């Protein structure tokens, strides 16, 4: 009898295992059939079965454990027609489909709301805001649309002025931000006039800004990440845009290439974008009241970007891209800054026929050079950084609720920095080469109410011969339909250093070095254990869906910068001085600091069909310790408030009115205690000056500084507005007319105090603009 029962049990287990094995997988992409863009977060289910999945950011989905044979899958998303597709599921080969869905323009607002909600339900989203092209347009109030204007209104982001557009994200300096364009590292993405970045808003597919606690996929920076991705050009027909305003002009061309398929889609497409500023010339006509030491507003830039894309029927993609960005500003005939950036690269997505893995990869080369001249007869400051970066990423969809991703990355770059002689110090020139290698793995598990994302990164820095081990973790717990808790954190590191003075707010010259050797060996009496710059992040918050229209996001954060390398503002002796009685901190070119950034960010949004409101408030405190004193860095802004509103009106919503208000408390600054007559003992070439009679020789006026950043500038206020009219012409061509102004109330916001002239220099006054855009 026992043998009979045992045989029955074995047979049952065998057939159960056999039945379980009789399943396969279905994968595919969900695409908007008009724009050919992916539809993120679309719902995919197998009819009649409790098997389903949600498409990712690229519209990709995979269904596991689907019974063999003919099955019907149903794809749905708010604002799109529901699609059903029959597939044949095989045990041998993964069934692949490409679903094209038609959108209903009447429900476009519901699409956006549904996508936002689905993203919150499927991602941790701690310390990250994702911007799409429409949001970039909505946030660019008062002038030309640009991503930098959109980023400036995000919680935790601070910018120091209308000139020298640098971003300080939750207590980190610009050098601590990793910025990528299609996977390529961009070393300076912002122009000297603070209204513009190098990115054309019309070619952006998405821009993810991680203000802290980012996952293991990103390395080599220890504060924040901005990941910008460009879209694929029009594969149906030639199209483009022509744009002109009182600031700048732009041309965008897109064209399909190759034989079109039955849907009218070509396999290859080309996109070329070019924009330039003529503000230096047009300001003499439109803004003659702006006071400068130069005729007009002396800002010039030209940006060119091109992308060639190829797509296969199974969803694999290959892109080749290149760019040329340049910038120049003239403060006077003897004071100027010029920089240029060049780069090219490729990236791809491969979808193997017999595997559930997605493979992403790419490689690129870029070069950035900057030259600053700060007075007649003065030797220039020069800096450059050039190199390669590339990598491979593998994403495995284990089950509907499990995902595993790992990748490899390599970065090589060469930095060169030339500084003229100053005060008692000779001129210096440093050239460095380094290699960084990174590897990471991260796992994502999604349950009914819980999302867990543990990750781990190993990053090797060649110039320091040091390995950094960096665990990361993200968590989200859904309490109910309207409340979610979330948290993330980890360890972070970097090697790159910015060689610029933080004594003043104005820092248009940005030099680069890779881990300089000339640093103190101790900090406050203790040996410095590493040459790397280290940080720890902890971010926690909650998401509240007050109603269908209103959402609230609250986050608190701490960034503990264990080690930061900075220019030594205390150096008064040459670094090769061997006098044992002189402390290291007075003769090394660089110092080691510690820092702490902490704060809370609140973001509230209200969205209806006609009205969109955005309110972001940040309360923060940033401190630094240089080994001699604790101080507030010049970008420490205690309170920061951004209010943005967009209202659509008129027949068919062809009019749009936008308004933005920004308030910020004053930045710290170092006061001027007095002046003295400074004699120069070293000339611009670094050689000693001839002997001088100290009783009769007059030196140049030099500043006696007060305590470091112990005073505050006045508070900052700015109101921007714009109004836009959209006219649809024949053949779906579109004409847009726009008018607006930045600083419409003409607040006199201080920029900095000119110590040499002993006078106040304000930010830009009211700057009205008009623009015309024609798309075809």
User: Could you tell me if residue 686 is inside a domain?
Assistant: no
User: Could you tell me if residue 117 is inside a domain?
Assistant: no
User: Could you tell me if residue 422 is inside a domain?
Assistant: yes
> 730: pLDDT confidence band, cut at 50, 70 and 90?
confident
Instruction: Please spell the DSSP secondary structure of 331-351, one letter per residue.
Output: EETTEEEEEEEEEEEEEEEE-
Q: Is the pLDDT of residue 4 over 60?
A: no
395 and 247 housed in the same domain: yes
439 and 524 housed in the same domain: yes
Express each pLDDT in 194-241 by its tens digit. 889 999 999 999 999 999 999 999 999 999 999 999 999 999 999 999
Q: Is the pLDDT of residue 664 over 80?
A: yes
663 and 760 housed in the same domain: yes
State the pairing for strand pair 95-101/23-32: parallel
Rounded Cα gap, residues 191 and 500, in angstroms: 17
CB burial string 52-82: b at 16+ within 10 A, e below:
ebbbbebbbbbbbebeeeebebebebbbbee
The pTM score is 0.90
> 10: pLDDT confidence band, cut at 50, 70 and 90?
very low
Q: Is the pLDDT of residue 13 over 50?
A: no
153 and 96 housed in the same domain: no
Boundary-marking domain end, from 40, 74, 107: 107
Number of domain units in the chain:
2
The domain spanning residue 40 has which CATH number?
2.60.40.1120
161 and 43 housed in the same domain: no
521 and 599 housed in the same domain: yes
Q: Which residue has the tokens 């543990």?
A: 454
Largest CA distance in the chain: 120
Q: Is the pLDDT of residue 500 over 90?
A: no
324 and 423 housed in the same domain: yes
Boundary-marking domain end, from 107, 141, 173: 107
Express each pLDDT in 736-775 by its tens digit. 999 999 999 999 998 888 777 788 888 889 999 999 999 9
Express each pLDDT in 231-273 by its tens digit. 999 999 999 999 999 999 999 999 999 999 888 889 999 999 9
Give pLDDT, residue 299: 87
Residue (of 326, 133, 135, 145) closest to 243 by Cα position = 145
Express each pLDDT in 694-715 by its tens digit. 666 676 777 888 888 999 999 9
Evaluate whether 223 touches 564 at the Cβ level (below 8 Å). Answer: no
Sign, Cα dihedral of 196, 198, 200, 204: negative
181 and 54 housed in the same domain: no
Q: Is the pLDDT of residue 452 over 90?
A: yes
User: Could you tell me if residue 575 is inside a domain?
Assistant: yes
Backbone angles phi, psi at 733, to 5 degrees: -70, 150
Rounded Cα gap, residues 146 and 130, in angstroms: 15
Of 370-384, 450-464, 529-543, 590-604, which range is least confident? 370-384
Q: Which two tokens stand for residue 487?
A: 């948290």
Q: Is the pLDDT of residue 61 over 80?
A: yes
Q: Is the pLDDT of residue 686 over 60?
A: no
Q: Helix (H, G, I), strand (E, B), or coil: what is residue 581?
A: coil
The domain spanning residue 495 has which CATH number?
2.40.170.20
- Overall average pLDDT of the 681-687 stretch: 55
Give pLDDT, residue 763: 87
> 293: pLDDT confidence band, cut at 50, 70 and 90?
low
CA distances 331 to 163, 296, 336, 350, Å, are 11, 10, 6, 49
Give pLDDT, residue 425: 58
Give pLDDT, residue 181: 95
Beta strands in 160-247 (DSSP E): 167-169, 177-181, 184-185, 204-210, 224-230, 239-245
101 and 138 housed in the same domain: no
138 and 83 housed in the same domain: no
User: Could you tell me if residue 276 is inside a domain?
Assistant: yes
State the number of CA atoms in the 13 A half-sphere of 742 facing the CB.
20
User: Could you tell me if residue 687 is inside a domain?
Assistant: no
Give pLDDT, residue 11: 47
Q: Which residue has the tokens 């699409």?
A: 111
Q: Which two tokens stand for residue 482?
A: 């309207």
Angle at 30 between CA 28 and CA 36, to 5 degrees: 120
**Domain ranges, residue 759:** 128-671+706-775
Q: Is the pLDDT of residue 296 over 80?
A: no
Rounded Cα gap, residues 271 and 342, in angstroms: 18
57 and 197 housed in the same domain: no
93 and 213 housed in the same domain: no
Share of the chain above pLDDT 70, in %: 90
Backbone angles phi, psi at 115, to 5 degrees: -65, -40
Residue (of 701, 696, 707, 706) closest to 676 by Cα position = 701
Express each pLDDT in 92-127 by its tens digit. 788 888 888 887 655 555 666 667 777 888 889 899
Average pLDDT, the chain: 88
Give pLDDT, residue 280: 87
Give pLDDT, residue 372: 87
Of 151-155, 159-163, 207-211, which range is least confident? 159-163
Give pLDDT, residue 221: 96
Evaluate whether 219 touches 461 at the Cβ level (below 8 Å). Answer: no
Boundary-marking domain end, from 38, 73, 107: 107
Evaluate whether 89 touches 95 at the Cβ level (below 8 Å). Answer: yes
Residue 610: CB atoms within 10 Å: 12
Express each pLDDT in 502-517 by its tens digit. 665 566 787 888 877 7
Give pLDDT, residue 506: 61
Give pLDDT, residue 15: 43
User: Could you tell me if residue 683 is inside a domain?
Assistant: no
Q: Is the pLDDT of residue 408 over 70?
A: yes
User: Could you tell me if residue 54 is inside a domain?
Assistant: yes
């Amino acid at each position: 009898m026992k043998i009979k029962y045992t045989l029955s049990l074995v047979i049952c287990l065998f057939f159960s295992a056999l039945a379980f094995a009789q399943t396969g997988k279905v994968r595919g992409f969900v695409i908007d059939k008009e724009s050919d863009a992916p539809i993120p977060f679309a719902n995919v289910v197998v009819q009649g079965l409790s098997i389903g999945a949600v498409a990712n950011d690229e519209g990709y989905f995979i269904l596991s454990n689907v019974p063999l044979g003919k099955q019907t899958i149903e794809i749905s998303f708010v604002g799109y027609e529901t699609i059903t597709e029959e597939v044949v599921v095989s045990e041998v080969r993964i069934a692949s489909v490409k679903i094209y869905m038609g959108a209903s323009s009447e429900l476009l607002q519901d699409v956006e709301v549904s996508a936002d909600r689905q993203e919150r339900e499927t991602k941790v989203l701690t310390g990250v805001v994702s911007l799409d092209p429409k949001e970039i347009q909505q946030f660019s109030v008062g002038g030309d649309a640009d991503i930098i204007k959109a980023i400036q209104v995000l919680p935790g982001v601070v910018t120091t002025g209308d000139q020298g557009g640098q971003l300080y994200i939750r207590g980190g300096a610009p050098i601590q931000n990793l910025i990528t364009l299609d996977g390529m590292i961009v070393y300076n993405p912002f122009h000297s006039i603070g209204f513009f970045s190098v990115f054309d808003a019309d070619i952006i597919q998405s821009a993810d800004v991680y203000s802290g606690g980012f996952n293991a996929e990103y390395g080599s920076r220890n504060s924040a990440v901005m990941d910008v991705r460009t879209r694929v050009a029009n594969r149906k027909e030639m199209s483009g845009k022509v744009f002109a305003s009182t600031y700048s002009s732009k041309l965008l061309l897109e064209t399909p290439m190759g034989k079109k398929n039955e849907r009218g889609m070509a396999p290859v497409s080309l996109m070329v974008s070019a924009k330039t500023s003529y503000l230096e010339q047009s300001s003499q006509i439109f803004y003659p009241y702006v006071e400068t030491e130069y005729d007009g507003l002396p800002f010039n830039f030209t940006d060119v970007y091109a992308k060639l894309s190829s797509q296969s029927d199974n969803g694999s993609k290959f892109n080749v891209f290149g760019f040329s960005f340049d910038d120049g500003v003239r403060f006077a005939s003897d004071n100027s800054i010029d920089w240029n950036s060049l780069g090219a690269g490729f990236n791809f997505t491969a979808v193997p026929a017999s595997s559930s893995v997605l493979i992403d990869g790419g490689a690129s080369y870029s070069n950035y050079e900057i030259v600053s001249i700060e007075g007649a007869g003065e030797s220039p400051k020069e800096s450059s950084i050039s190199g390669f970066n590339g990598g491979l990423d593998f994403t495995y969809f284990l089950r509907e609720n499990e995902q595993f991703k790992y990748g490899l990355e390599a970065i090589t770059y060469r930095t060169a920095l030339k500084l003229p002689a100053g005060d008692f110090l000779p001129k210096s020139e440093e050239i460095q080469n380094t290699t960084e290698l990174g590897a990471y793995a991260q796992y994502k598990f999604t349950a009914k109410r819980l999302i867990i994302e543990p990750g781990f990164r190993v990053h090797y820095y060649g110039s320091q011969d040091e390995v950094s081990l960096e665990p990361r973790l993200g968590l989200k717990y859904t309490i109910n339909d309207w409340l979610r808790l979330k948290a993330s954190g980890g360890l972070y590191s970097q090697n790159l250093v910015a060689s610029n003075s933080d004594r003043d707010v104005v820092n248009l010259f940005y030099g680069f070095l890779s881990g300089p050797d000339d640093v103190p060996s101790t900090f406050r009496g203790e040996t410095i254990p590493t040459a790397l710059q280290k940080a720890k992040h902890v971010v926690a918050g909650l998401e509240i869906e007050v109603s269908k229209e209103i959402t609230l996001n609250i986050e608190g954060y701490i960034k503990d910068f264990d080690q930061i390398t900075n220019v030594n503002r205390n150096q008064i002796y040459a670094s090769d001085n061997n006098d044992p009685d002189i402390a290291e901190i007075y003769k090394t070119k660089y110092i080691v600091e510690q820092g702490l950034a902490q704060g809370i960010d609140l973001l509230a949004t209200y969205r209806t069909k006609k009205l969109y409101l955005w309110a972001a408030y940040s309360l923060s405190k940033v401190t630094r310790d240089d080994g001699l004193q604790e101080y507030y860095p010049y970008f420490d802004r205690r309170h920061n408030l951004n209010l943005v509103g967009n209202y659509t009106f008129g027949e068919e919503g062809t009019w749009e009115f936008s308004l933005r208000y920004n308030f910020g408390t004053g930045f710290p600054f170092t006061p001027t205690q007095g002046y003295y007559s400074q004699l120069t003992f070293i000339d611009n070439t670094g050689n000693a000056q001839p002997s001088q009679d100290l009783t009769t020789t007059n030196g140049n006026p030099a500043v006696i500084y007060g305590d470091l950043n112990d005073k505050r500038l006045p508070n900052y206020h700015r109101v921007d507005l714009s109004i836009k009219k959209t006219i649809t012409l024949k053949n779906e061509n579109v004409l847009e007319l726009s008018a607006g102004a930045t600083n419409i109330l003409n607040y006199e916001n201080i920029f900095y105090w000119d110590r040499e002239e002993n006078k106040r220099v304000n930010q830009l006054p009211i700057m009205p603009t008009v623009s015309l855009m024609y798309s075809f």
